[in-house]
Amino acid sequence: MSGLLAGKRLLITGVITESSIAFDVAKIAQQQGATVVLTGFGRMSLVERIAKRLPEPPVVLELDVTNQEHLDTLAARVGEHVDGLDGVLHSIGFAPQSCMLGDYLDTPWEDVATAMHVSAYSFASLTKACLPLMGEGASIVGLDFDARYAWQNYNWMGAAKAALESINRYLAREMGRLHKIRVNLVSAGPLRTTAARSIPNFSEMESQWNARSPLGWNPADRTGAAKTCCVMLSDWMPVTTGTMVWADGGFSAIGDRVEPFAPTPKD
């Protein structure tokens, strides 16, 4: 399909390196005719350099989703470059290492609060910040990792993703009733991104995912997940909201598994 996103104006968050899922979403979106604005956090010079590798180097704006001033000024700053938004991609997540390593019950609230704020609450705060630029038919898409299960070593990040899934439903209700805006999540399988490097036993998860997925799974190929995001941002899912779309090779549909991945031996 050509021109899937022709004329669309998209805000895409979460590009850190070329291995970011958001980078592939931005690339495919541009190839499908969209005008893209990126946001970055932290090493802005790196994000700006990576952005130049896209087919059309986009505007890059700084956005820390825990900074209220950044959120309050986002619509005005985006509005300097596009006259509205047809779609927003939330590809933001972070948890301190203590949230994924060590004893689950010993994780301090301060670290859990950070994970919840950045990885879950920001879906709502980003939506609110972008709302002045969005009209009827717009689409908000968040990236998720299936939180129906307690994944080993995912711990409080898994709890944050569960919160994200609940927030998605409530946002869909509010945005749909009041603004006719769709809100959905795309749950990808394990992909080799910068964030994935912080997950212990990630390589074991990759191998089991490939073995149990009906379509197989290549953790180095982000194209499938990115294309799914682009479809959700397009006009081709006009009556779908409040749901989670799996882009995981079919792993989520298969019940013949005992453990998501092998346990870590204790000393």
How far is the C-alpha of 90 from the C-alpha of 183, rounded, in Å? 11
Please give the Cα distance from 259 to 265 (Å, whole number): 14
- If DSSP states are collapsed to H, E and C, what string results for the chain? CCCCCCCCEEEECCCCCCCCHHHHHHHHHHHCCCEEEEEECCCHHHHHHHHCCCCCCCEEEECCCCCHHHHHHHHHHHHCCCCCEEEEEECCCCCCHHHCCCCHHHCCHHHHHHHHHHHHHHHHHHHHHHHHHEEEEEEEEEEECCCCCCCCCCHHHHHHHHHHHHHHHHHHHHHHHHHCCEEEEEEECCCCCCHHHHCCCHHHHHHHHHHHCCCCCCCCCCHHHHHHHHHHHCCCCCCCCCCEEEECCCHHHCCCCCCCCCCCCCC
Rg (CA), the chain: 18
Nearest to 75 by CA among 22, 7, 36, 128: 128
Looking at the annotation, which residues are catalytic?
154, 161
